[in-house]
């Protein structure tokens, strides 16, 4: 018999205070019929809202942690560390974060031309993380730079010449750009910063005399942008729904949300009993999404006993990450993807390609308290470089307080074997003399790996070059 963990909550007159008290347990059968419905719908709500909630959490974290507001440009003057708590970030290229909203009219995003030393890769997206278009050398502007004009649906205003117009279905949009630089040296990072400061974001109404864009350095600021699966997440879902357009595809789901107290244009009302149910529903939703990510919605890449999987599910690739088929919306695949990622792409595999692994060679979940070794074959099929990073299975972010998140072929001091292979070590402590080839992990935590191919060549996709699994050393 399933148990529903009930956590006593205290209520303030003006707001709900999420302060857990004594943990209690109640048989699921003791819930009323209506309470069972609330629980079921709450689980489904968390699954449905995952990409939207992921975006909101990141946006709020950048505002709270760095003062980054709409139309500001947040960038990293140095490569991000564990203090950048977002889902599956990289530690080889500095990120650029921008958010905008269209409730006051179209917004212009000026992307500068790529230079000899700085290329850019990234995608302009709406708040549901659906790609509008890629930018940069492999994007719409082809590296020549452009003024992108973001307009709301059914916009009737005059469109001036000289812009690339993108219509988005939502009020809010954002992007996570990555300047592609030669290495993480101080010189290369300064070039990336100088390029970034040429990005301008402003309302079209100010095009004749645009405001000066604020560029904010995010380096070493703590960005707590990971969704927490607890009762509070439903209040956050209610909040972002108030800001956003309700699309036709979501009308039936909005009807279900009304039954649990989430409704556009209405106040969020909840009592202690419902919060207890929400808490358990959130925890169940997280376990469901982890299973979908690691076992269901991602397919094994090599078709043999190897554990490496495609990070992007088939539904994402087939629909260009709109997740919309003629007869259904791929809710589960979409949710598990944005449990583990914070951006999508229009042309997947053109600039980067990711493989994921959450099990060792024996099919056991990767354990942060154990030691593993992986041998990367020689001649990795990339034009630029490769990296392998560890991510906490419960957050999809980096392990906190660790000196580094992974290993890349561009790392100084990386030791290569005589035959061109590279041995990588995973565990809570580095093997003596192997620090450069070590990926630190945290005890009592399961994790998964992302192997990134930067500039993948055809050998990745025809699979005549294959990654090896992790082998436990203990």
Is the pLDDT confidence value at 149 over 60?
yes
Residues of the chain with CATH 1.10.3360.10: 3-52+227-290
Confidence of residue 352 (pLDDT cuts 50, 70, 90): confident
Question: What is the CATH superfamily name and number for domain 297-472?
Answer: Domain of unknown function DUF1214, C-terminal domain (2.60.120.600)
Query: Measuring CA to CA, how many Å separate 291 from each of 211, 287, 393, 436?
Result: 47, 6, 10, 32
Quote the pLDDT of residue 184.
Answer: 87
CATH number of 3-52+227-290: 1.10.3360.10
Residues of the chain with CATH 2.60.40.1610: 69-217
Quote the pLDDT of residue 55.
Answer: 98
Residue 296 — φ and ψ, nearest 5°? -115, -60
Quote the pLDDT of residue 243.
Answer: 97
Tell me: the pLDDT tens digits for 37-83? 999 999 999 999 999 999 999 999 999 999 999 999 999 999 999 99
Tell me: the pLDDT tens digits for 378-421? 999 999 899 999 999 999 999 999 999 999 998 989 999 999 99
> What pairs with residue 302 in β-bridges?
none
- How many H helices and E strands in the chain? 9, 25
Looking at 49-90, list the stretches that DSSP marks H as alpha helix, in order from N- to C-terminal side.
Answer: 50-66
Q: In terms of CATH architecture, what is 69-217?
A: Sandwich (2.60)
Q: What integer best gives the mean pLDDT of the chain? A: 92
Residues of the chain with CATH 2.60.120.600: 297-472
* Average pLDDT over every residue of 155-174: 94
Nearest CA to 368 among 399, 330, 335, 340? 399
Tell me: the pLDDT tens digits for 220-260? 999 999 999 999 999 999 999 999 999 999 999 999 999 99
Q: How big is the CA angle at 426 (ends 423 and 432), to the nearest 5 degrees? A: 70
CB atoms within 10 A of CB 415: 12
Share of the chain above pLDDT 70, in %: 94
Judge whether 290 and 272 are in contact, CB under 8 Å: no
Judge whether 474 and 367 are in contact, CB under 8 Å: no
Whole-prediction pTM? 0.90
CB neighbours of 30 closer than 8 A, spacing ≥ 6?
none
Look-up of token digits 């090599």: 302
> What pairs with residue 449 in β-bridges?
357, 390
In a 13 Å sphere around the CA of 35, the CA atoms on its Cβ side amount to: 18
Residue 147 — φ and ψ, nearest 5°? -100, 110
């Amino acid at each position: 018999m399933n148990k529903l963990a009930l956590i006593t909550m205290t209520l303030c007159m003006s707001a709900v205070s999420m302060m857990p008290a004594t943990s209690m347990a109640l048989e699921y059968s003791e819930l009323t019929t209506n309470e069972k419905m609330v629980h079921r719908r709450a689980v489904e709500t968390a699954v449905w809202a995952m990409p939207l909630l992921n975006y909101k959490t990141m946006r709020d974290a950048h505002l709270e942690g760095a003062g980054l507001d709409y139309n500001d440009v947040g960038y990293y003057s140095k490569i991000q560390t564990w203090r950048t708590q977002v889902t599956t970030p990289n530690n080889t290229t500095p990120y650029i974060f921008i958010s905008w909203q269209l409730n006051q009219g179209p917004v212009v995003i000026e992307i500068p031309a790529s230079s000899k030393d700085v290329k850019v890769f990234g995608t302009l997206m709406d708040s549901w993380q659906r790609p509008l278009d890629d930018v940069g050398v492999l994007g719409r502007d082809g590296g020549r730079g452009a003024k992108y004009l973001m307009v709301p649906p059914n916009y009737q205003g005059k469109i001036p010449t000289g812009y690339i117009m993108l219509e988005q279905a939502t009020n809010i949009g954002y992007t996570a750009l990555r300047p592609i630089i030669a290495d993480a040296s101080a010189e290369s990072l300064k070039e990336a910063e100088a390029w970034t400061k040429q990005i301008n974001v402003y309302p079209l109404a100010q095009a004749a005399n645009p405001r000066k864009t604020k560029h904010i350095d995010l380096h070493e600021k703590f960005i707590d942008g990971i969704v927490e699966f607890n009762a509070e997440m439903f209040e956050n879902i209610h909040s972002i729904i108030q800001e956003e357009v309700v699309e036709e595809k979501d009308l039936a789901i909005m009807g279900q949300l009304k039954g649990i107290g989430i409704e556009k244009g209405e106040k969020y009302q909840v009592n202690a009993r419902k919060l207890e149910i929400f808490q358990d529903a959130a925890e169940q939703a997280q376990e469901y999404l982890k299973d979908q990510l690691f076992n269901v919605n991602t397919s094994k890449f090599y078709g043999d006993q190897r554990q490496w999987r495609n990070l992007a599910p088939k539904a994402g690739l087939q629909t260009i990450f709109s997740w919309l088929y003629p007869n259904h919306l791929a809710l589960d695949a979409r949710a598990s993807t944005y449990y583990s990622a914070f951006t999508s792409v229009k042309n997947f595999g053109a600039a980067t390609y990711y493989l994921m692994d959450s099990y060792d060679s024996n099919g056991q979940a990767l354990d942060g308290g154990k030691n593993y070794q992986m041998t990367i074959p020689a001649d990795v099929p990339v034009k630029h470089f490769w990296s392998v990073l560890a991510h906490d299975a419960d957050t999809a972010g980096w392990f906190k307080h660790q000196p580094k998140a992974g290993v890349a072929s561009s790392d100084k001091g990386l030791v290569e074997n005589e035959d061109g292979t590279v041995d990588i070590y995973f565990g809570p402590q580095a093997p003596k003399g192997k620090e450069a080839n070590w990926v630190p992990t945290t005890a009592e935590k399961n994790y998964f790996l992302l192997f990134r191919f930067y500039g993948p060549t055809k050998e990745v996709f025809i699979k005549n070059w294959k990654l090896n699994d992790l082998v436990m050393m203990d």
